[in-house]
Homo-oligomer: A and B are copies of this chain.
Amino acid sequence: MFALVNRLQTKPGERDAVVENLLESGKAFDGNDACLLYLVTESVDEPDTIWVVDLWTSEEAHTDALQDPRLRPFIEATMPLLQAPPEQIELRHRGGIVSLASLD
């Protein structure tokens, strides 16, 4: 199991646009059984900060998913809206509980 926490810092006022891009581009993972979680959130305290939490069955599955050509236009549209390259923190899943039935 491969997890990532990604911190994105947008240019001032561009957070909503980046969130929309992240949600739209995330639809590429919809039919992908290797993508267990793709959670797009925004900081309560920092107006231009986005946090994305991903959970994948393996690092390889994540790498493969990023090859999807449908992602390219979203990446190209998003990069100019960011203050800096995304900060990507690689994590190993140790455990926990999940009862996300009510999330949809």
Contact = CB atoms under 8 A, between A and B. Distances in A.
Interface of A: 1, 3, 5, 19, 23, 26-27, 29-30, 33, 35-45, 51-53, 55, 57, 89-100, 102-104
> Main SS of chain A's interface residues?
strand
A5 B54 CA distance: 13
How many copies of this chain does one complex carry? Answer: 2
A4 to B, nearest CB: 9
A86 B103 CA distance: 27
A3 B103 CA distance: 12
Contacts of A57: 102
Given A5-B53, A23-B96, A100-B98, A89 B37 contact: no
